[in-house]
Structures are given as structure tokens and as C-alpha cells.
Structure 1
Amino acid sequence: MRSQPSSSPSAPGVQGHAAPHWREGFAGLGPAFYTRLRPTPLPSPTLIAASEPARQLLDWSRDWLESPDALELLAGNAVPAGSEPLATVYSGHQFGVWAGQLGDGRAILLGETDSGFEVQLKGAGRTPYSRMGDGRAVLRSSIREFLCSEAMHALGIPTTRALALVGSPAPVARETVETAAVVTRVAPSFIRFGHFEHFAGRGQHEELRQLADFVIDRFYPGCRSDTRFGGNAYASLLNAVSERTAALMAQWQAVGFCHGVMNTDNMSILGLTIDYGPFQFLDGFDPGHICNHSDSQGRYAYNAQPNVAYWNLFCLAQALMPLIGEEELALAALQSYREVFPLRFEAAMLAKLGLAQPVAGDAALLEALLRVMAAERIDWTIFWRRFAHYRAGGPADPLDELFVDRTSWRHWLSAFERRPTGADAAAAVATLRANPRFVLRNHLGQQAIEAAQTGDFSGVHTLLGLLEAPFDEHPGMDAYADFPPDWASAIEISCSS
């Protein structure tokens, strides 16, 4: 860790440290899509943590990443040669209501590197789209986003990535005065459903087509040769995005992840988990759990997420209608979500159960298990990890201990044991790779945050190491895989960050 105040407007000597090279990428779409601006300097920055897997993804030099020049870049204090930073404009529906123009209110895109990934600084200062905001992010929320981005990747769930977390003593006013931080985010693209809604809502159909063509040519080239939908590449795009979103929702539900604010402007066109705000991994299993304290109506409750995703895709379909042309084609393209989600969710849950192939009655068996778990709010992660050990040959006693009403539980387990398994031995062993031991529970994040606010970042580093290998046992780290303390239920996570 190092603390380097910044005074220079650029990063001298960057090229000597094997720094990234930049190419045009999104910026090639033109000024209708963004505003060029520089990040706002962050005083006295400190590199709190960096992700080695994300560094390898970018193919950046470790020596450079640990250099003072890199810290200046990651803090937003210096703009490296070849980078022309920008903030993008988009619109969207928030909590089901059209919000009009939104945009990158505190995220500034440095550009696209030679590795094909965009690099973005979140918390790097005010932009024209900040809507009265200060453009900053606080340490509290930045720790959560940094850790969860890398945790989701290690769980095998598509996500934006987090390269680095930089802190500063600069004050930021939220409910209280907190300190500032910047997360360096990485993704093939940060384009959202809301980017399409923006141009469709304004009747800017030429820009809408330009954006769609960019996305197709860069990320969905197969849409050009897809003969379904009458050869309509834009309907094919909607279909492909629907399938990716369905697969993502299945993974969220299977791991017990609640996003908390699934607005259309928080939905990735690439099917990535994006914008970690009031997220939570389930503790006790409550299908109607609401993780966002701001979500008074429960619009984004855990069990609502799959339907909300479809609603958001419908909004995307409406935005693409000037290009698709025929309503029937759009509806046919959306149908893939309804087909893919249940198949992918069933496959994910069968993997958690250690079953290689579905048989008749599996859906009813799974529904019965979820009812038994919900009745007693059984801890989601601990149940499935213990079940994995049971399927790998361990005793059922640790599972029994989770239930007060063991009659209902044992009735279900007997039904499960009567199910024909076929050649499922390998799948049973594989359950330990389908059910993580470690997830970023709210109380673990809170403990790391409270220590970090005193200048102790060891909790962040410990969690990062565990979450980068969530399926491993990590001897001696049992406390991080234990039941949440009673006070955990009182933690309130909202959109404030």
C-alpha cells in the first residue's frame, strides 16, 4: 500500500512501467453518446486493494500497477497518454417509472485497452449527468462493490470486474460525513438497456441504430447470420440478450443473490451483473426477502427478480421497436427468456443437489425442499454447503441440526433418497464445486468496512482472499462461513453510496 498525493495533470513515465495502451472503442460512436471530461483529482489517495485475477485479465504489468503512476491513474488524478475519458448518457426506468435522462453521474470511462476491456473509474467526480450529485463514492459502498465484483466472478457468475480500490481522506456527505473512494471497474462494455431507451425515447433512431450495430458487431456477430426472425438482426439481438439475462437470473437465484435495484439502467446488454449497490446474499431463506431498505414496495425482492428481468427486457424490446419493426418479431425474441430461465434454473439447482440429469418429478421435489427451508428460514449458504458434504458421502446429521421441524425435513430427504440417481456419483462429488462455502454476507462486509474506516484494511484483504476461492475449505477461517450474528438482521442497505 502506498499513499501518493497528486498535483500533476498527467502521468509522466507511465509508458516506462508497461502501462496500458488505449484504443477508441465506445468513443467511436461519437459525441451524441457521451461527454468528454477529466476525472476530478482525489487528494492523498491510498491503494487499499487490487485484484490479481482482474490484473491478469487486462494483462497489465504488476510492477506498473504497484507504481505511483498507476495510483495517480486509479485515483483519477492523472490521465495517461492515449486515454480520452468520457461519461456516457443513458435513460431508464427506476422502480418501474420512466425517469428520463440519467447517465454516468460518477463513473468516468478511461477507454478501452488493447485487451478489449473497458476501464472505468467509479467515484471519480461530477459529470453532466450527476443530477445534483457530487460524483463521488464513499469507502463503505466502494468496499462492497470491489469485493462483490470479484466474488461473483469466482462464483462463475457473469459480472463487471473490479481491478482496484483507492481510498482518500476527502470528506463526502451522505447521511453522515464519510470518506471518498474510487473503484476501478472493468468490463467488455458498460452499455446498459438504458442506453437504448435513451435514444428511442428521444426519437433519435439513427443513433439507436448506430448503437445497436456497434453492440451486434462487437459482441453478438452471430445476429447478422441468424435466419430466425426473418433475418432481422435486431430481433436476433433482443433474443440473444434475453437468453443471457435468463441465464444470469438463474445463477443469481441459485446462489441466493439479491441485487436490490434492478432498474433498466442497471441492466447490462451483455448479461453481466452490474452496479453493486444495496445487494445481499441471503442468510435465512425468505423467498420474499427485500435487501434494499429503499425498496418499500418490494419490487426487487429475491423472488421477484426473474419477473423483473423480463419486465426490463420488455422495455428493451420497446426501445428496439423502431429497428425491429414488427411487434410479433419482438415478442418471439422475448420468448427465449421464458424458455431459457426455467431450464437454466433447474440445471443450476440440480447441480446443487448433485444430480446430473433431470427426471420426472424433480420440479416438485425442489419446490418441496424450498417450502421446507422457507418455513424455518434455513440459512441458504450453510444448508447447501452441508448438503454438498452429505452428497459427497458425509453424514446427514449436520443437515438435521439446521431444522426444528425435522419431521418435514426428513420426509423430504427420504423422498430425495428414493429418487433414481443413475450414474450420478461424479455429480454428487461435484456438489462441493456448486455450493460455495464463502459468500459476501452483509455482516462480513460491514465488519471489514468498520475496520477500514479506522485505517485497518486487513479485513478487506482477508475477505478478498476467501471470496476469490469461495469453494475451497480455507482451514482456520470457519468464522467467515458461520451463521450471521443476531445484529446482522438490523443492517440496512440502501441506494445511498
Structure 2
Amino acid sequence: MNEILQLPEAPADLAQPALAWRNSFAGLGPAFFTDLQPTPLPSPALVGLNAPLVQELGLDPDWLASPPGLDVLTGNRLLPGGRPLASVYSGHQFGVWAGQLGDGRAILLGEIDSPAGPRELQLKGAGRTPYSRMGDGRAVLRSSIREYLGSEAMQGLRIPTTRALAVTGSPAPVRREEVETAAVVTRVAPSFVRFGHFEHFAARDQHDHLRTLADYVIDRFYPECRGAERFAGNAYAAFLEQVSERTAAMVAQWQAVGFCHGVMNTDNMSILGLTIDYGPFQFLDGFDPGHICNHSDEQGRYAFNKQPNIAYWNLFCLGQALLPLIGEQELALAALESYKSVFPRELERLMRAKLGLATAQDADRQLIEGILQLLAKERVDYTIFWRRLSHHVAGQPADTVRDLFLDREGFDGWLSRYSQRLALEEGAGPRMLQTNPKYVLRNHLGEMAIRQAKLGDHSMVSGLLLLLQSPFAEHPDHEDLAGFPPDWASNIEISCSS
């Protein structure tokens, strides 16, 4: 890869940002990555630019939207000082050890200081790497728009996530089930280290590299693990516990909002507890606990109601990888144990919040389980139910909520018990309207934006982004985007192909 022709640096017109690049990940050594250049794409065009994130990073939106900026966002040119690289990792895919994987189409440009803190910038879809295996290293417009909107939807919902700075498109053909066009997403995160990075070195018995990686992540992101009294000062066990707790809290938020990830392989799990790798994800329409959003998931391994257990399974794999550093199996198991307490506690807290309950009562769990059973029985639209219930608690009649159910008697019985419980609370309605979103990125909304973008019209991509960044606001001019999905939405198939 070192023989690849160096890309030119972007010309300094239009106040090119003078970024103080560094790449702390590159300091780990050549066993962790390969230096390489992105592969240029012809005729890049701006599909979406995330203005709030541009501002958070202290960048210039006018320059990014200019031809030199588009070249940088597409991987056709480099800003001075960057060191592009692709990292190596391994992992379990659909429960089976897949061996060496790595950044098959993602290239890390480097790390910058921003008002929001240090952030890594990564181009997804920027060409082949040594870890592409049989892939072409490209991403298509369809999946790139989904990731751009999906990650920012999660940010708007206050769920930990990687971010998306921009999407650029190109007429370059990319073959998937059919011939599509290429695109590049500029992704942003404090770190893109995954569970699979640790599995890679553990599987190869490269314990020195494993320790180097663990020390790097602990010192940068989990310094409190050093000298912690728990686990007799074993920083690696404390680290595993912290990752377990962050993961538990994240998955609880997924379940509460009705988010299906779709492909929870260990290489798709962030070591920081961030939602990462937006492939065949989906926000639930009708509430179906066993819903499988990934058309490629023939066995239903990653069904919605299996996500909490899969997250623990993935953490167990991480614990096995860290065992050479932790030293004692009992310590590793004790560190993982926190997941089993944090997840149910966090989920119950979040579900109480969806019901507007600021205090905890013993009977709350029955209320939560009761309404989820009613929703599942009739596949009631998950987002619309919680939003209408919020408006009812805020003062509107109950009819719009009751109309969602065929079993009126069953719902009325639940509503009566809920109303009695709610009498013990104050200000529940306004809290619920800031807890239960009006807008989520339903599959059909993403599909509509994609269809328009394929025709060169990116207005719906931009419009959806604004709604998803403030999903609890009413936005009365966009009621149609908060309604029930059309009949054709049930025919949308989302797979691992991207």
C-alpha cells in the first residue's frame, strides 16, 4: 500500500481550515493499522452537510461546501497534516468467529481538537484497504444517506452514537444487488475502537499488543479505572465493567425508543458504548418484540427483543479477549455482572420516564409490562402511541389514544390504573413530550429521501435532518412525516448490503 500515489493537498482558497491534525491511534504502532490513501471518486457532489456538527467541530461550512472541501470530504484530496490509515480488527459475525476483518472501506483521516473535545474523522466508502477482503471498499448512496440520517436521529434522541458530518455522492457505479452509485460518509467520533480490536490480538496471542491497546483506551477514555479500589486495583477488570455498564445503558435506550440495530456483530460494538455502524437498522413501526429488521438475518439472531442478550454475549467475548490482562476468570465474570443489573434498572427508569413517572413505585413494573403486552398484541404503532399518550397526559382527550386499540376494554382498564398512578405525579405531560419523540427515522422516510436523492434532489435529506435533530418539537408544517407508515413500507427490505 505504500506504493500508492500520494493524493494532493487541498488548495488553500476560500479560507481552508488550518486543522491541527494528530493521530493518537497511529502511535500504537504498525501492527494496528496500515497507512494508505483514499481512492478518489469522480465528480463529487454534496448530498448533505450537517451544519450543527460543522459548528461543533469549529469548521467552516462554506469551505466544506466548496469544490476543494468536497474533494476532502470525498477522499480526493487531503488537508495538510493528516495521516490516513485503516485499522485491523477481528470479530464474531452472526455468532461465528470470522477471523481478521478490519476497516474494509473506512479510512481514518486523523484526530482534531474541537470545542466538543478531541474527535476522529473517518471516511466511509473511500476505497479498498488491505482489510476489504473481497469487497470494493465503496459505499452506495442508499446506505450512506441512511447512516447520515440515522446517526443524527440517534443524536437528536440523546442516545450515544457516532456522528455524520457530511455525505458526498459520485456517479461512479458500484455493484450490489444492482448497479448503484457511490457515496462517502464523513463519520465523527471520539474513537472508532471496537470490541473486535481486542479480539484480534487476543486470538493471535499477541498479548503485548493487547495490553498496548487496552492501556491506550483506558488512559484516554477510562482513566478512572487506574487505581480503582474495585477488583483490587485491576484496571483491566474495572475497564471491562465500565464498558459493560455503558453498553447496558445504550441498549436500554435502544429498547425504550424502539430501535433495532440489525447487525450486532462484535466488530460493530463500540468500546465507548456508542451506537456504531448503521447498516440494516430500523425504528419500529408496529410494536413487535420479535421484529427482525435485517433481511439477511435469516435466523433472527438480532431480533429486537434479543438485542439485550446479544449485547451481553458480545461483552462476554470482550471479557474473553481481555482475560490475559485481567488474569483471573472470576474477576472478568464479576466485571460482566454489572450488565445484568444496569440494563434492567436503566430500562425500567426509561420506561417510567416514557410514562411521565418521576418517582418509583412497586406497581410501576406491572404498568410497564401491561402496556407493552397490549401494544404487542395488536402491533400498535410504537412511536405514535407514546406521543399520543403524552398529549393526553398534557390535557388532550384520551380518544386519540384509545383509537389505536381494537381491545378498548383492555386499554381502558390499563388507562384507569395508569391514571390513578399518575395522580401521584406533577408535571408529567410536559416531561413526556420531551421524552417521547414525535419524529423518528422510519424506513419509508429514509426510502423517500433516497429515491429523491437518486434523482439529484437532496432537499428531503436536508429537511429530514432538521426534523430528526429536534424530534420532540411539534414542527406543525410536517405532520405528514409523523404519521403512520404507508402500506408499501412493509415491503422495504434492508440487508447487510451497502
TM norm structure 2:
0.97
Q: How does 1:159-174 map to 2 (within 5 A)?
A: 159-174=161-176
| Aligned residues of 2:160 and 2:273 also touching (Cα < 8 A) | yes
Looking at structure 2, the residues matched to 337 and 428 of structure 1 have their Cα atoms a distance apart, in angstroms, of 31
Listed one character per residue, the Cα deviations across residues 151-186 of structure 1 (whole Å, up to 9, x for unaligned) are 100110000000000000000000000000000000
- What is the CA deviation profile of residues 459-490 of structure 1, one whole-angstrom value per residue up to 9, with x for unaligned ones? 11111111111111101211100000111111
Q: Which residue of 2 aligns with 1:33?
A: 32
Deviations 1:335-368 (A, max 9, x none): 1111100111011111110000110111122111
1:311 and 1:54 map into 2 onto residues whose CA distance is 33
Which position in structure 1 is the counterpart of 2:66?
A: 67
Where does the alignment leave 5 or more consecutive residues of structure 1 unmatched? Answer: 1-6
How many pairs were matched up?
490
| Deviations 1:405-437 (CA, angstroms, capped at 9, x unpaired) | 111111111111122653x22333210010000
In 2, the alpha carbon distance for the partners of 1:172 and 1:328 equals 49
How far is the alpha carbon of 1:19 from its aligned partner?
Answer: 3.8
Q: Deviations over 1:236-263 (max 9, x none)?
A: 0000000000000010000000000000
Taking the aligned partners of 2:418 and 2:319, their CA distance within structure 1 comes to: 41
- Does residue 185 of structure 1 match 2:184? no
Does the CA contact (< 8 Å) of 2:357 and 2:422 recur in 1? Answer: no
Structure 1 partner of 2:209: 207
Q: Secondary structure at the match of 1:489?
A: helix
Contact persistence 2:263–2:280 (CA under 8 A): yes
Aligned pairs for 1:170-319 (under 5 A) are: 170-319=172-321
Partner of 2:473: 472
Match of 2:451 in 1: 450
Residues 5-55 of structure 1 show CA distances to partners (whole Å, capped at 9, x for unaligned) of: xx9722121794224220121111111100000000010000111111211
Aligned to 1:154: 156
SS at match of 1:347: helix
Kindly indicate whether the alpha-carbon contact (under 8 Å) linking 1:117 and 1:187 is maintained by their aligned counterparts in 2.
Answer: yes
Identical columns (%): 68
Q: CA separation in 2, counterparts of 1:120 and 1:421?
A: 50
- Spell out the pairing of 1:309-348 with structure 2 (5 A cutoff): 309-348=311-350
Question: Which residue identity is paired with 2:45?
Answer: T
Which letter maps to 1:337? Y
CA distance in 1, matches of 2:459, 2:472: 21
2:435 maps to 434
The match for 1:4 is: none
Q: Given residue 478 of structure 1, which amino acid in structure 2 is its aligned partner?
A: E
Q: 1:279 to 1:233 in 2, by over 3 A?
A: same
Moved more, 460-469 or 33-42: 460-469
- The alignment partner of 1:125 has SS state of coil
Secondary structure of the structure 2 residue equivalent to 1:496: coil
Q: Would you say the 8 A contact 2:23–2:111 is kept in 1?
A: yes
**Structure 2: distance between partners of 1:14 and 1:178:** 33
Alpha-carbon contact 2:167-2:183 (below 8 Å) kept: yes
What is the CA deviation profile of residues 447-468 of structure 1, one whole-angstrom value per residue up to 9, with x for unaligned ones? 1111111111111111111111
- Alpha-carbon distance in structure 2 between the residues aligned to 1:179 and 1:15: 29
Which amino acid in the other structure matches residue 484 of structure 1?
A: P
* Residues in 1 aligned to 2:223 and 2:151: alpha-carbon distance in whole angstroms: 27
Aligned to 2:419: 417
Name the residue aligned to 1:382.
Answer: 384
User: Which consecutive residues of structure 2, in runs of 5 or more, have no partner in the other structure?
Assistant: 1-5
1:494 aligns with 2:495: yes
Query: Aligned in 2, Cα 1:19/1:67: closer, same or farther, shift over 3 Å?
Result: farther
Quote how far apart the aligned CAs of 1:71 are: 1.0
The alignment yields a C-alpha RMSD, in angstroms, of: 1.2
For 2:98 and 2:40, locate their aligned partners in 1 and report how far apart those are by CA, in whole Å: 30
* Structure 1 residue aligned with 2:356: 354
CA distance in 1, matches of 2:23, 2:443: 39
Find 1:138's aligned residue among 137, 140, 155: 140
Paired residues of 1:141 and 1:277 also in contact (CA < 8 A):
yes
**Superposition pairs for residues 82-121 of structure 1, below 5 Å?**
82-115=81-114, 116-121=118-123
Task: Please give the alpha-carbon distance, in whole angstroms, between the structure 2 residues aligned to 1:53 and 1:25.
Answer: 26
Counterpart CA distance in 2 for 1:343 and 1:481 is 30
The 1-side partners of 2:187 and 2:12 are apart by: 23
- What amino acid is aligned across from residue 220 of structure 2 in structure 1? R
Contact 2:105 2:126 in 1 (8 A): yes
- C-alpha distance in 2 between matches for 1:212 and 1:53: 33
Aligned position for 1:42: 41
Q: Is the 8 A contact 1:355 1:428 kept in 2?
A: no
Quick one: distance in 2 between partners of 1:14 and 1:41?
20
Superposition misfits of 4+ residues, deviation over 3 angstroms: none
Q: Secondary structure at the match of 1:183?
A: strand
Distance 1:304 1:26 in 2: 33
Q: Is it true that 1:370 corresponds to 2:369 in the alignment?
A: no
Q: Is the 8 A contact 1:45 1:166 kept in 2?
A: yes
Cα deviation, residue 399, structure 1? 0.2
Does structure 1 conserve the Cα–Cα contact (< 8 Å) formed by 2:141 and 2:181?
yes
Q: CA deviation at 1:225?
A: 2.5
Choose 251-260 or 58-67, whichever is displaced more: 58-67
Q: Please tell me whether the aligned partners of residues 7 and 78 of structure 2 are also in contact (alpha carbons under 8 angstroms).
A: no
Moved more, 101-110 or 362-371: 362-371
Distance 1:419 1:61 in 2: 51
- The answer (yes or no) to whether the contact 1:192–1:264 under 8 Å persists in 2 is yes
SS in 2 for 1:27: helix
Partner of 1:12: 11
Contact kept, 8 Å, 1:19 with 1:60, in 2: the verdict is no
Amino acid at match of 2:489: A
